[in-house]
């Protein structure tokens, strides 16, 4: 009618799709803002009714207040420090269990996934049973089983189960023989970091050179060799230049125990905020006549206690420690000294997360290997490659494209699932957040902080995954 | 036909050797063993080592299972089933079970395939429970439930009920469940108060019944929201698109427990001051619905993306308007494609309901924790923890394994993942 005589005329606004789209979006926006405003005003009035002081506004000053509670493990934390520092300790604990969990779960998952596609019937059926049982059971039940059913039923310290020279298992934790970096080893750590950087740079340069020349191969071997070279050189340099600090001093109490530390203010007393404790230093206790009574090594906190010596020591001498000290746990009274000590909560959480996530990673690896067309297997067999070589050279590189995106999601799931630590008392960031809420009453603020933390983990993972997907995606027309 | 070897018509004068049997080491049991277990030196050693490990693990497990103290689980079977629901009103959950079984049977008859496999599994489970000596009334109930399942199946086969009536019946059954379990309806804001039995406080729902309620209501309520979010994410209108993206990414980026605590603490804060505080069950259901909707949106988006563009274009060429296009062409195909993923999501949600125990609800895991704390079992060496948690894990395993088995059969039928 009227529009057909003008080819470019627009229909009336109530039938014009562009106008309708804009109107609908405006309507939707108004709806969302109205709902948000409704919820917000409700929240502020209700909050004002509860805490009259703040008048309903969200204040963030509680973060600087004294915490007043202890955290059972993680970086050193004292109750006088602030809520914010407590939250940071919780975050460190989450990262600790997440990194260990990701590494172990990947190892377990990849081997189980390969076992699933193996042609050994027994192995593949066992892997199938493991995956099916673990994936069908909730993680919370598995965690509670590991903690209350397994770890809590380990023997007491007095009768702790022992792997000779390696570890002790008891219901107060697992204690493992572990190498630690000592005072003279600390500079070596920086040499290792430098070596890693140098190795990466050398590998990249070599690869660029080879690509430029059109030759095959990569820079991996050269990079690794560079890293080891720098590490060994650094070891000897650090060892020969190793010196204990000049301000070294000690506190000796009751003739057989005390602390070895670097006295920053020269007053001879150990103050944790100013002075630095010296761990893993070999020391000798001398009596009044200068005769050596016993030798020991300071433990991880710089403290020492001579259990076997008579309590008659008056002075102490020390020697420069080697860069790496292999610390073995020893039973001392109701606990173990030395070695790496893992609390029952950490072990239960780690076990639960690794076993659970490993099953999902196994399925992802299996799906990835199965996604490679059968023709690839047949062609590589025709060329004469065996199973292991086929997997390594042909199948796994192609499978990686299918495996990596869901694998990074599973890593993210592991980090999110570590929040279940609240069920067994491991002080991760969610648990510490709840304690902060209980003590300070700042419910809304802490929920926002906790959600923001997990969201940033998830954002970092998505960014990585998008970058990886763009790099390897097959461009279709 | 000569015996001259150079002729074109040469015939071999020797009798051909009779076809022999294949060598004994290649076929039958021995052949299978050689191929699958002992195909090489490394493989054989692996098999022997694995056999040894399996033997030790299995004998230890069986010995423990037979010698374990199962009394805490057996004595509390009512708690594990329905939680602290009033014992004299157990007819109400029983009625719900019977109605659901009948409806399930009818759906199995009408829709077949995956629903039928699930119904067979459910029937087997109920029959086992009818045989175990759990108590006369409970066994009778299980027997009647199996009978209703079978009758419903036969009815479904014979009577051609339209899908929309069956869907309506399922939705009505949800409302029926809510009313019957509560004992009536009580909405003080709207002034409705009707009851046919003493009203049961929702805090008394528990056990496997509560787990089922949380999972089923969760996925049902999150379905419309999830589909809307998926469509919104693919929309060309930027406001709606970014709102959907932000919602989906935020909810998928945080653990469920965070959202549970958020709902428990903040839902009363968000409601106007005059309203009464919603019961814990409602708060947890809200959290589960909001959480599940984001994951469902991603699954449905996968289905929408898998649909060839030609479908959208053909629908538009036919002149279908936006909502008709969705209703008749797009959504039926997309949703059918994502059924396996939806089953996987339901399994995940079923497992995630266990987190409700951390906010005070007494579903299966919560009852397990409460049973362990009961004073009767304090003197048991090693505590009742192992047996109770193994039992709870076993219950979850039965349901989830059954669901994933049915889903795998469906995937095989649909031909997913074949060459």
Instruction: Map out the domains of chain B as residue ranges.
Output: 87-200, 206-374+382-419
Instruction: Name the band, by pLDDT with cuts 50, 70 and 90, for residue B279.
Output: confident
Task: State both tokens at A280.
Answer: 């893993």
Is the pLDDT at A218 greater than 90? The verdict is no
For the A83-138+343-472 domain, the top CATH level (class) is mainly alpha
With contacts defined as CB-CB under 8 Å, which chain A residues touch B51?
A: 122
Tell me the DSSP string of B215-236: HHHHHHHHHHHHHHHHHHHT-S
Task: State both tokens at A464.
Answer: 């990585």
Please measure the distance between the N-terminal and C-terminal CA atoms of chain B and give it in whole angstroms: 49
Is the pLDDT at A54 greater than 60? The verdict is no
Q: What is the DSSP letter of A147?
A: I
Predicted pLDDT of residue A432: 94
Cα separations (Å) of A318 from A193, A245, A305, A422, B205? 29, 12, 14, 44, 67
Residues B347, A42: C-beta atoms closer than 8 Å: no
Predicted pLDDT of residue A57: 62
Residues B396, A141: C-beta atoms closer than 8 Å: yes
Burial B310-328 (b: 16+ CB within 10 A, else e): eeeeebeeeebeeeebbee
Predicted pLDDT of residue A55: 46
Is the pLDDT at B416 greater than 60? The verdict is no
Closest partner CB to B389 (pick from A141, A153, A419)? A141
CB-count burial class (<10 Å; 0-12, 13-18, 19+) for A255 = middle
| SS3 label, residue B210 | helix
- In sequence order, what are the beta bridge partners of A318? A283
Residues A454, B258: C-beta atoms closer than 8 Å: yes
Q: What is the pLDDT of chain B when averaged over all its residues?
A: 88
The CATH code of the domain at B206-374+382-419 is: 1.10.3720.10
Interface-testing mutation among A118, A134, A138, A412, with chain B (most B C-beta atoms within 10 A) = A138
Instruction: Name the band, by pLDDT with cuts 50, 70 and 90, for residue B219.
Output: very high
Q: What is the model's pTM? A: 0.86
Shortest distance between the Cα of A153 and any Cα of chain B, in A, equals: 6
Predicted pLDDT of residue B273: 75
**How remote is the C-alpha of A323 from its chain's centroid?**
25
Is the pLDDT at A411 greater than 60? The verdict is yes
With contacts defined as CB-CB under 8 Å, which chain A residues touch B392?
A: 141
What are the residues whose beta carbons fall under 8 Å from the beta carbon of B257, sequence distance 6 or more? A419, A420, A422, A430, B355, B358
Closest partner CB to B400 (pick from A136, A430, A434)? A136
> Quick check: A97 and A353 in contact, CB under 8 A?
yes
With contacts defined as CB-CB under 8 Å, which chain B residues touch A444?
A: 266, 269
- In sequence order, what are the beta bridge partners of A292? A286
Distance CA A455, CA A459 (A): 6
Give B55-114 pLDDT, tens digit per residue: 999 999 898 888 888 888 889 989 999 999 998 889 999 999 999 999 999 999 988 778
With contacts defined as CB-CB under 8 Å, which chain B residues touch A120?
A: 36-37, 39, 43, 46-47, 50
- In sequence order, what are the beta bridge partners of A337? A330
Query: How many beta-carbon pairs below 8 A join chains A and B?
Result: 162
Is the pLDDT at A56 greater than 60? The verdict is no
Mean pLDDT value across residues A320-333: 79
Residues B237, A447: C-beta atoms closer than 8 Å: no
Classify the phi-psi angles of A313: left when phi > 0, otherwise alpha if psi is within -120 to 50, otherwise beta.
beta
Say what angle helices A396-417 and A443-472 make with each other, to 10 degrees.
Answer: 180
- Give the DSSP H/E element, type plus range, for residue A380: helix A374-383
Interface-testing mutation among B393, B408, B416, with chain A (most A C-beta atoms within 10 A) = B393
The share of chain A scoring above pLDDT 90, in percent, equals 29
With contacts defined as CB-CB under 8 Å, which chain A residues touch B358?
A: 140, 420, 422-423
Residues A148, B372: C-beta atoms closer than 8 Å: yes
Is the pLDDT at A19 greater than 50? The verdict is yes
CB-count burial class (<10 Å; 0-12, 13-18, 19+) for A39 = middle
The share of chain A scoring above pLDDT 70, in percent, equals 96
Residues B269, A152: C-beta atoms closer than 8 Å: no
Closest partner CB to A138 (pick from B262, B354, B369)? B354
Is the pLDDT at A109 greater than 70? The verdict is yes
Is the pLDDT at B406 greater than 70? The verdict is yes
Give A262-289 pLDDT, tens digit per residue: 777 777 777 777 777 888 888 888 877 7
Predicted pLDDT of residue A5: 66
Give B153-180 pLDDT, tens digit per residue: 999 999 888 888 999 999 999 999 999 9
**CA of A38: which chain B residue's CA is closest?**
B270
With contacts defined as CB-CB under 8 Å, which chain A residues touch B401?
A: 132, 136
Shortest distance between the Cα of A292 and any Cα of chain B, in A, equals: 48
Closest partner CB to B50 (pick from A47, A123, A462)? A123
Residues B253, A25: C-beta atoms closer than 8 Å: no
- In sequence order, what are the beta bridge partners of A259? A251, A303
**CA of B351: which chain A residue's CA is closest?**
A138
- Give the DSSP H/E element, type plus range, for residue B26: none
CA triplet A415, A421, A422: central angle to 5 degrees? 130
Predicted pLDDT of residue A192: 87
Residues A422, B257: C-beta atoms closer than 8 Å: yes
Predicted pLDDT of residue A4: 57
With contacts defined as CB-CB under 8 Å, which chain B residues touch A417?
A: 255
Residues A462, B238: C-beta atoms closer than 8 Å: no
Predicted pLDDT of residue B419: 42
Is the pLDDT at B242 greater than 60? The verdict is yes
Q: What is the pLDDT of chain A when averaged over all its residues?
A: 85
Is the pLDDT at B403 greater than 70? The verdict is yes
Interface-testing mutation among B65, B243, B246, B261, with chain A (most A C-beta atoms within 10 A) = B261
Tell me the DSSP string of A191-228: HHHHHHHHHHHHHHHHHHHHHHHT----SHHHHHHHHH
Highest mean pLDDT among A93-97, B183-187, B324-328: A93-97
Structure-token match 């406001």, residue found: B239
Predicted pLDDT of residue B184: 85
């Amino acid at each position: 009618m009227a529009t057909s005589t003008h080819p470019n005329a627009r229909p009336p606004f109530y039938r014009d799709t562009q106008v309708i789209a804009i109107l609908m979006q405006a309507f939707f926006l108004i709806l969302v803002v109205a709902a948000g405003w409704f919820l917000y005003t409700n929240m502020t009035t209700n909050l004002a009714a509860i805490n009259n002081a703040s008048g309903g506004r969200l204040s963030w000053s509680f973060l600087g207040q004294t915490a007043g509670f202890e955290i059972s493990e993680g970086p050193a934390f004292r109750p006088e420090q602030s809520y914010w520092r407590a939250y940071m300790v919780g975050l460190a604990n989450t990262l600790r269990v997440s990194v260990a969990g990701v590494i172990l779960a990947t190892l377990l998952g990849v081997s189980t996934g390969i076992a699933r596609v193996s042609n050994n019937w027994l192995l593949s059926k066992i892997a199938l049973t493991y995956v099916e049982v673990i994936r069908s059971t909730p993680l919370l039940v598995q965690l509670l089983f590991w903690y209350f059913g397994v770890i809590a039923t380990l023997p007491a310290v007095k009768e702790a189960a022992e792997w000779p020279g390696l570890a002790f298992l008891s219901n107060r934790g697992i204690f493992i023989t572990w190498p630690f970096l000592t005072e003279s080893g600390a500079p070596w750590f920086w040499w290792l970091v430098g070596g890693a950087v140098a190795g990466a740079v050398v590998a990249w340069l070599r690869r660029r050179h080879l690509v430029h020349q059109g030759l095959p191969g990569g820079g991996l071997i050269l990079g690794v060799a560079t890293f080891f070279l720098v590490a060994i050189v650094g070891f000897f340099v650090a060892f020969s230049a190793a010196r204990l600090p000049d301000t070294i001093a000690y506190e000796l109490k009751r003739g057989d125990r005390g602390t070895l530390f670097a006295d920053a203010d020269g007053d001879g007393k150990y103050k944790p905020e100013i002075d630095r404790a010296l761990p893993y230093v070999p020391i000798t206790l001398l009596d009044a006549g200068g005769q050596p009574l016993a030798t020991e090594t300071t433990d991880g906190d710089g403290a020492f206690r001579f259990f076997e010596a008579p309590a008659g020591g008056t002075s102490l001498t020390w020697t420069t420690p080697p860069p790496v000290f292999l610390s073995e746990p020893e039973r001392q009274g109701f606990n173990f000294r030395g070695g790496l000590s893992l609390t029952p909560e950490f072990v239960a959480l780690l076990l639960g997360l690794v076993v659970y996530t490993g099953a999902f990673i196994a399925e992802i690896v299996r799906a990835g290997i199965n996604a490679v067309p059968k023709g690839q297997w047949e062609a590589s067999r025709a060329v004469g490659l065996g199973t292991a070589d086929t997997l390594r050279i042909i199948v796994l590189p192609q499978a990686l494209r299918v495996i990596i995106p869901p694998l990074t999601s599973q890593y993210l799931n592991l980090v999110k699932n570590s929040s279940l630590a609240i069920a067994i008392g491991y002080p991760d960031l969610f648990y510490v957040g709840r304690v902060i809420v209980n003590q300070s009453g700042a419910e809304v603020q802490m929920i926002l902080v906790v959600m923001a933390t997990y969201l940033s983990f998830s954002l970092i993972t998505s960014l990585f995954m998008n970058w990886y997907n763009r790099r390897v995606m097959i461009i279709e027309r | 036909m000569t015996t001259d070897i150079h002729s074109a018509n040469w015939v071999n004068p020797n009798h051909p050797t009779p076809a022999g049997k294949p060598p004994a080491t290649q076929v039958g049991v021995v052949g299978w063993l050689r191929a699958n277990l002992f195909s090489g030196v490394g493989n054989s050693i692996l098999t022997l080592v694995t056999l040894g490990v399996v033997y030790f693990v299995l004998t230890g497990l069986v010995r423990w299972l037979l010698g374990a103290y199962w009394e805490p689980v057996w004595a509390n079977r009512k708690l594990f089933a329905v939680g602290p629901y009033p014992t004299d009103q157990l007819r109400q959950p029983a009625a719900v079970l019977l109605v659901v079984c009948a409806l399930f049977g009818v759906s199995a008859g009408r829709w077949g395939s995956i629903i039928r496999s699930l119904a067979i599994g459910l029937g087997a489970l109920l029959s086992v429970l009818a045989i175990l000596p759990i108590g006369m009334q409970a066994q009778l109930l299980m027997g009647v439930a199996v009978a209703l399942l079978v009758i419903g199946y036969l009815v479904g086969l014979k009577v051609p009920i339209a899908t929309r009536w069956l869907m309506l019946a399922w939705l009505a059954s949800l409302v029926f469940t809510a009313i019957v379990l509560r004992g009536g309806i009580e909405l003080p804001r709207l002034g409705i108060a009707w009851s046919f039995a003493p009203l049961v406080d929702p805090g008394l729902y528990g056990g496997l019944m509560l787990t089922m309620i949380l999972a089923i209501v969760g996925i049902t309520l999150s379905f419309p929201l999830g589909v809307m979010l998926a469509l919104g994410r693919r929309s060309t209108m930027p406001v709606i698109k970014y709102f959907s993206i932000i919602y989906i990414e935020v909810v998928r980026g945080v653990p469920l427990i965070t959202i549970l605590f958020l709902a428990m603490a903040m839902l009363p804060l968000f409601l106007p001051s005059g309203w009464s505080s919603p019961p814990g069950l409602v708060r947890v259901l809200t959290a589960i619905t909001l959480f599940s909707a984001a994951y469902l949106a991603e699954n449905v988006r996968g289905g929408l993306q898998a649909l060839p563009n030609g479908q959208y274009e053909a629908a538009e060429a036919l002149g279908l308007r936006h909502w008709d296009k969705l209703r008749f062409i797009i959504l039926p195909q997309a949703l059918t494609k994502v059924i396996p993923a939806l089953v996987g999501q339901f399994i995940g949600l079923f497992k995630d309901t266990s987190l409700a125990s951390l906010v005070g609800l007494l579903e299966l895991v919560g009852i397990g924790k409460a049973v362990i704390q009961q004073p009767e079992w304090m003197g048991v060496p090693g505590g009742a923890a192992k047996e109770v948690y193994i039992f709870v894990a076993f219950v979850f395993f039965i349901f989830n394994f059954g669901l994933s088995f049915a889903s795998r059969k469906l995937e095989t039928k649909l031909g997913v993942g074949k060459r």
